[in-house]
Amino acid sequence: MCDRARGRDIAIACFYFDFAAGKEQTPGSMLGALLKQVVGGLDKIPEEITQEFVEQKKVIGGRSLRLDQIVKLLVVVTSLKPTFICVDAVDECAVRDRIKILISLGEIIQKSPTTRVFLTGRPHIRGEAETRLPGGVVAISVSPWKDDIIHFIRKRLEEDPSPDEMDERLESEIVKKIPETVSDM
Amino acid sequence: MSQDHNLFITASKDSSSPARASSFNNNTNSFNNTINNVSNHFTVPEDRSEILAWLSPLEPRIRHQNLEAGRVDKVGDWLLQTEQFRNWLGGNSRDEPQNAAMLCHGNPGAGKTYIW
Protein backbone atom coordinates (compact mmCIF):
# COMPACT_ATOMS: atom_id res chain seq x y z
CA MET A 1 0.00 0.00 0.00
CA CYS A 2 2.78 2.43 0.95
CA ASP A 3 4.70 1.42 -2.21
CA ARG A 4 1.79 2.48 -4.40
CA ALA A 5 1.43 5.81 -2.60
CA ARG A 6 4.96 6.96 -3.51
CA GLY A 7 5.19 9.92 -5.87
CA ARG A 8 1.59 11.01 -5.27
CA ASP A 9 0.53 14.15 -3.45
CA ILE A 10 -0.87 12.35 -0.44
CA ALA A 11 0.17 12.05 3.18
CA ILE A 12 0.69 8.79 5.06
CA ALA A 13 1.14 8.60 8.81
CA CYS A 14 1.68 5.31 10.58
CA PHE A 15 1.84 4.02 14.11
CA TYR A 16 2.70 0.61 15.56
CA PHE A 17 1.33 -0.31 18.96
CA ASP A 18 3.43 -2.67 21.01
CA PHE A 19 2.69 -4.26 24.39
CA ALA A 20 6.40 -3.89 25.24
CA ALA A 21 6.37 -0.11 24.72
CA GLY A 22 4.07 0.20 27.74
CA LYS A 23 3.30 3.63 29.08
CA GLU A 24 5.20 5.70 26.53
CA GLN A 25 2.47 5.03 23.93
CA THR A 26 -0.19 7.37 25.34
CA PRO A 27 -3.06 8.83 23.28
CA GLY A 28 -1.19 12.18 23.25
CA SER A 29 2.17 10.79 22.13
CA MET A 30 0.52 8.48 19.60
CA LEU A 31 -1.67 11.12 17.95
CA GLY A 32 1.19 13.61 18.28
CA ALA A 33 3.38 11.18 16.33
CA LEU A 34 0.75 11.05 13.57
CA LEU A 35 0.62 14.85 13.53
CA LYS A 36 4.41 15.01 13.37
CA GLN A 37 4.52 12.78 10.30
CA VAL A 38 1.84 14.69 8.38
CA VAL A 39 3.43 18.06 9.27
CA GLY A 40 6.89 16.69 8.42
CA GLY A 41 5.68 16.08 4.85
CA LEU A 42 4.55 19.68 4.35
CA ASP A 43 6.81 22.36 2.84
CA LYS A 44 5.95 24.79 5.61
CA ILE A 45 4.75 24.20 9.14
CA PRO A 46 1.20 25.61 9.42
CA GLU A 47 0.85 28.86 11.35
CA GLU A 48 -1.58 27.25 13.84
CA ILE A 49 1.22 24.90 14.96
CA THR A 50 4.00 27.48 15.19
CA GLN A 51 1.70 29.73 17.22
CA GLU A 52 0.93 26.90 19.66
CA PHE A 53 4.63 26.08 19.88
CA VAL A 54 5.52 29.67 20.79
CA GLU A 55 2.68 29.81 23.36
CA GLN A 56 3.61 26.52 25.04
CA LYS A 57 7.31 27.46 25.17
CA LYS A 58 6.44 30.49 27.29
CA VAL A 59 5.40 28.21 30.14
CA ILE A 60 8.30 27.42 32.48
CA GLY A 61 9.88 24.17 31.36
CA GLY A 62 7.73 24.13 28.20
CA ARG A 63 4.49 22.23 27.80
CA SER A 64 3.05 19.62 25.43
CA LEU A 65 -0.19 19.93 23.54
CA ARG A 66 -3.39 18.54 25.06
CA LEU A 67 -5.16 15.70 23.27
CA ASP A 68 -8.00 17.96 22.06
CA GLN A 69 -5.44 20.43 20.64
CA ILE A 70 -3.61 17.64 18.80
CA VAL A 71 -6.88 16.37 17.29
CA LYS A 72 -7.82 19.91 16.21
CA LEU A 73 -4.44 20.36 14.51
CA LEU A 74 -4.70 16.93 12.89
CA VAL A 75 -8.03 18.02 11.38
CA VAL A 76 -6.28 21.14 10.01
CA VAL A 77 -3.33 19.33 8.42
CA THR A 78 -5.25 16.29 7.12
CA SER A 79 -7.60 18.68 5.33
CA LEU A 80 -4.69 20.01 3.22
CA LYS A 81 -4.29 16.82 1.14
CA PRO A 82 -5.66 13.24 1.07
CA THR A 83 -4.27 11.53 4.14
CA PHE A 84 -3.97 7.88 5.14
CA ILE A 85 -3.59 7.09 8.83
CA CYS A 86 -2.40 3.51 9.41
CA VAL A 87 -2.38 2.04 12.91
CA ASP A 88 -1.03 -1.44 13.55
CA ALA A 89 -1.97 -3.74 16.45
CA VAL A 90 -4.66 -1.53 17.96
CA ASP A 91 -5.42 -4.40 20.38
CA GLU A 92 -1.95 -3.90 21.94
CA CYS A 93 -3.01 -0.51 23.26
CA ALA A 94 -4.51 -0.37 26.79
CA VAL A 95 -8.30 -0.42 26.56
CA ARG A 96 -8.84 3.01 28.18
CA ASP A 97 -6.35 4.65 25.82
CA ARG A 98 -7.73 2.70 22.87
CA ILE A 99 -11.21 4.17 23.35
CA LYS A 100 -9.78 7.71 23.45
CA ILE A 101 -7.75 7.07 20.32
CA LEU A 102 -10.68 5.58 18.39
CA ILE A 103 -12.91 8.53 19.37
CA SER A 104 -10.15 10.94 18.24
CA LEU A 105 -9.70 9.15 14.92
CA GLY A 106 -13.50 9.22 14.51
CA GLU A 107 -13.50 12.99 14.99
CA ILE A 108 -10.77 13.38 12.39
CA ILE A 109 -12.57 11.39 9.68
CA GLN A 110 -15.79 13.19 10.56
CA LYS A 111 -14.22 16.62 9.98
CA SER A 112 -11.66 15.79 7.30
CA PRO A 113 -13.48 14.03 4.44
CA THR A 114 -10.36 13.06 2.47
CA THR A 115 -8.82 11.15 5.37
CA ARG A 116 -8.85 7.35 5.55
CA VAL A 117 -8.04 5.30 8.61
CA PHE A 118 -6.53 1.82 8.24
CA LEU A 119 -6.35 -0.35 11.36
CA THR A 120 -5.06 -3.81 12.09
CA GLY A 121 -5.70 -5.86 15.19
CA ARG A 122 -7.05 -9.05 16.66
CA PRO A 123 -10.72 -9.85 15.93
CA HIS A 124 -12.08 -8.78 19.32
CA ILE A 125 -11.53 -5.05 18.62
CA ARG A 126 -13.94 -5.04 15.68
CA GLY A 127 -16.95 -4.14 17.85
CA GLU A 128 -15.09 -1.31 19.56
CA ALA A 129 -13.98 0.15 16.24
CA GLU A 130 -17.47 -0.06 14.75
CA THR A 131 -18.94 1.71 17.79
CA ARG A 132 -16.41 4.56 17.88
CA LEU A 133 -15.75 5.28 14.20
CA PRO A 134 -18.55 7.08 12.34
CA GLY A 135 -19.83 5.92 8.95
CA GLY A 136 -19.11 2.24 9.51
CA VAL A 137 -15.94 0.19 9.36
CA VAL A 138 -14.95 -1.89 6.35
CA ALA A 139 -13.81 -5.10 8.03
CA ILE A 140 -11.77 -7.79 6.40
CA SER A 141 -10.38 -10.97 7.88
CA VAL A 142 -6.67 -11.63 7.36
CA SER A 143 -5.23 -15.13 7.39
CA PRO A 144 -1.95 -16.47 6.03
CA TRP A 145 -2.26 -16.22 2.25
CA LYS A 146 -0.74 -19.14 0.36
CA ASP A 147 0.82 -16.99 -2.39
CA ASP A 148 2.33 -14.66 0.23
CA ILE A 149 3.88 -17.62 2.06
CA ILE A 150 5.36 -18.99 -1.20
CA HIS A 151 6.78 -15.51 -2.06
CA PHE A 152 8.31 -15.32 1.39
CA ILE A 153 9.87 -18.82 1.26
CA ARG A 154 11.34 -18.26 -2.22
CA LYS A 155 12.86 -14.97 -1.09
CA ARG A 156 14.43 -16.59 1.95
CA LEU A 157 15.78 -19.49 -0.14
CA GLU A 158 17.39 -16.96 -2.52
CA GLU A 159 19.17 -15.47 0.48
CA ASP A 160 20.27 -18.87 1.82
CA PRO A 161 23.87 -18.47 3.04
CA SER A 162 24.60 -22.17 2.24
CA PRO A 163 23.13 -22.73 -1.24
CA ASP A 164 25.39 -25.74 -1.90
CA GLU A 165 23.47 -27.72 0.68
CA MET A 166 20.20 -27.20 -1.18
CA ASP A 167 19.10 -29.26 -4.17
CA GLU A 168 16.11 -28.85 -6.47
CA ARG A 169 14.15 -31.69 -4.91
CA LEU A 170 14.51 -30.33 -1.35
CA GLU A 171 13.67 -26.79 -2.49
CA SER A 172 10.45 -27.83 -4.23
CA GLU A 173 9.49 -29.92 -1.21
CA ILE A 174 9.96 -26.91 1.12
CA VAL A 175 7.93 -24.64 -1.17
CA LYS A 176 5.14 -27.24 -1.31
CA LYS A 177 5.01 -28.50 2.29
CA ILE A 178 5.31 -25.32 4.38
CA PRO A 179 2.30 -23.48 2.84
CA GLU A 180 0.22 -26.68 3.28
CA THR A 181 1.20 -26.87 6.95
CA VAL A 182 0.35 -23.18 7.55
CA SER A 183 -3.02 -23.57 5.79
CA ASP A 184 -3.87 -26.47 8.13
CA MET A 185 -3.23 -24.33 11.25
CA MET B 1 19.34 43.32 21.56
CA SER B 2 22.02 44.52 23.98
CA GLN B 3 22.23 47.92 22.27
CA ASP B 4 18.46 48.43 22.55
CA HIS B 5 18.62 47.30 26.13
CA ASN B 6 21.32 49.92 26.94
CA LEU B 7 19.25 52.66 25.32
CA PHE B 8 16.28 51.60 27.42
CA ILE B 9 18.36 51.87 30.63
CA THR B 10 19.74 55.30 29.61
CA ALA B 11 16.26 56.64 28.90
CA SER B 12 14.85 55.34 32.15
CA LYS B 13 17.41 57.31 34.17
CA ASP B 14 15.84 60.67 33.21
CA SER B 15 12.55 60.87 31.37
CA SER B 16 11.43 64.21 32.88
CA SER B 17 11.78 66.43 29.73
CA PRO B 18 9.40 65.95 26.72
CA ALA B 19 12.34 65.20 24.40
CA ARG B 20 13.69 62.59 26.76
CA ALA B 21 10.17 61.15 27.26
CA SER B 22 9.83 60.78 23.47
CA SER B 23 13.23 59.14 23.30
CA PHE B 24 12.18 56.84 26.13
CA ASN B 25 9.00 55.77 24.23
CA ASN B 26 10.94 55.16 21.03
CA ASN B 27 13.45 53.06 22.87
CA THR B 28 10.68 51.14 24.64
CA ASN B 29 9.09 50.38 21.25
CA SER B 30 12.45 49.27 19.96
CA PHE B 31 12.85 46.99 22.96
CA ASN B 32 9.34 45.53 22.41
CA ASN B 33 10.12 44.97 18.73
CA THR B 34 13.21 43.08 19.74
CA ILE B 35 11.15 40.89 22.07
CA ASN B 36 8.67 40.22 19.24
CA ASN B 37 11.54 39.29 16.95
CA VAL B 38 12.70 36.75 19.52
CA SER B 39 9.19 35.22 19.58
CA ASN B 40 8.95 35.21 15.79
CA HIS B 41 12.31 33.51 15.66
CA PHE B 42 10.51 30.24 16.45
CA THR B 43 8.71 30.25 13.10
CA VAL B 44 11.85 30.24 10.97
CA PRO B 45 12.86 27.01 9.19
CA GLU B 46 15.78 26.28 11.56
CA ASP B 47 13.24 25.48 14.27
CA ARG B 48 11.36 22.99 12.12
CA SER B 49 13.02 19.97 13.72
CA GLU B 50 12.49 21.44 17.20
CA ILE B 51 8.77 21.91 16.53
CA LEU B 52 8.44 18.38 15.11
CA ALA B 53 10.22 16.88 18.14
CA TRP B 54 7.91 18.87 20.42
CA LEU B 55 4.80 17.35 18.76
CA SER B 56 5.78 13.86 19.97
CA PRO B 57 8.88 12.10 21.31
CA LEU B 58 7.91 8.89 19.46
CA GLU B 59 9.40 7.91 16.09
CA PRO B 60 7.13 5.30 14.47
CA ARG B 61 8.85 5.89 11.10
CA ILE B 62 11.89 3.98 12.40
CA ARG B 63 9.76 0.92 13.14
CA HIS B 64 8.14 1.29 9.72
CA GLN B 65 11.51 1.39 7.97
CA ASN B 66 12.68 -1.73 9.85
CA LEU B 67 9.55 -3.63 8.88
CA GLU B 68 9.77 -2.41 5.30
CA ALA B 69 13.34 -3.72 5.06
CA GLY B 70 12.18 -7.20 6.10
CA ARG B 71 9.05 -7.22 3.97
CA VAL B 72 8.94 -9.36 0.85
CA ASP B 73 7.73 -7.59 -2.27
CA LYS B 74 4.09 -8.25 -3.30
CA VAL B 75 3.08 -9.61 0.11
CA GLY B 76 -0.40 -8.29 0.87
CA ASP B 77 -1.15 -7.32 -2.74
CA TRP B 78 -4.26 -9.52 -2.62
CA LEU B 79 -5.88 -6.94 -0.30
CA LEU B 80 -5.63 -4.19 -2.93
CA GLN B 81 -7.77 -6.27 -5.31
CA THR B 82 -10.64 -6.80 -2.88
CA GLU B 83 -13.97 -5.02 -3.17
CA GLN B 84 -13.75 -4.00 0.49
CA PHE B 85 -10.46 -2.19 -0.11
CA ARG B 86 -11.84 -0.32 -3.13
CA ASN B 87 -14.97 0.66 -1.16
CA TRP B 88 -12.76 2.07 1.59
CA LEU B 89 -10.53 3.93 -0.86
CA GLY B 90 -13.49 5.54 -2.62
CA GLY B 91 -15.61 6.12 0.50
CA ASN B 92 -16.26 9.23 2.57
CA SER B 93 -16.82 11.51 -0.40
CA ARG B 94 -20.07 12.98 0.93
CA ASP B 95 -20.70 15.32 3.84
CA GLU B 96 -21.08 12.39 6.22
CA PRO B 97 -18.21 9.89 6.60
CA GLN B 98 -18.92 6.62 4.85
CA ASN B 99 -16.55 3.67 4.95
CA ALA B 100 -13.63 5.95 5.83
CA ALA B 101 -12.20 3.39 8.24
CA MET B 102 -10.96 -0.10 7.47
CA LEU B 103 -10.03 -2.84 9.91
CA CYS B 104 -7.93 -5.84 8.95
CA HIS B 105 -8.43 -8.32 11.74
CA GLY B 106 -6.79 -11.66 12.31
CA ASN B 107 -4.95 -13.80 14.79
CA PRO B 108 -1.30 -13.25 15.73
CA GLY B 109 1.04 -14.32 12.93
CA ALA B 110 -1.56 -13.85 10.18
CA GLY B 111 0.59 -11.17 8.52
CA LYS B 112 -1.43 -8.05 9.39
CA THR B 113 1.61 -5.90 10.16
CA TYR B 114 3.15 -6.50 6.74
CA ILE B 115 0.08 -5.52 4.74
CA TRP B 116 1.08 -1.87 4.53
Per-residue pLDDT, A130 = 95
Q: What is the mean pLDDT of residues B8-36?
A: 50
Per-residue pLDDT, B78 = 85
Beta pairing, strands A11-16 & A83-88: parallel
B104 interfacial to chain A (CB closer than 8 Å): yes
Q: Indicate the residue of A28, A57, A117 with minimum beta-carbon distance to B101.
A: A117
Tell me if the pTM is above 0.95: no
Q: How does residue B96 score in pLDDT terms, banded at 50, 70 and 90?
A: low
Per-residue pLDDT, B47 = 86
CB atoms within 10 A of CB B47: 16
Q: Indicate the residue of A118, A125, A147 with minimum beta-carbon distance to B78.
A: A147
**What sign results for the dihedral spanned by CA atoms A174, A177, A181, A182?**
positive
Distance CA B85, CA A4 (A): 14
CB contact under 8 A, B78 and A118: no
Per-residue pLDDT, B26 = 61
Q: Crossing angle for the helix pair B2-13 and B18-40, nearest 10 degrees? A: 150
A2-132 CATH fold = Rossmann fold (3.40.50)
Q: How does residue B39 score in pLDDT terms, banded at 50, 70 and 90?
A: very low
Per-residue pLDDT, B24 = 53
Beta pairing, strands B101-105 & A137-141: parallel
Q: Report yes or no for ipTM above 0.90.
A: no
B108 interfacial to chain A (CB closer than 8 Å): yes
Q: Where are the domains of chain A?
A: 2-132, 146-183
Measured CA to CA in angstroms, residue A137 lies from A7, A75, A147 at distances of 28, 20, 27
Residues of B in Cβ contact (< 8 Å) with A36 = 52, 55-56
Residues of A in Cβ contact (< 8 Å) with B72 = 148, 151-152, 155
Q: Is A120 exposed, middle or buried (0-12, 13-18, 19+ CB in 10 A)?
A: buried
Point out the least confidently predicted range of A13-22, A24-33, A127-136, B28-37.
B28-37
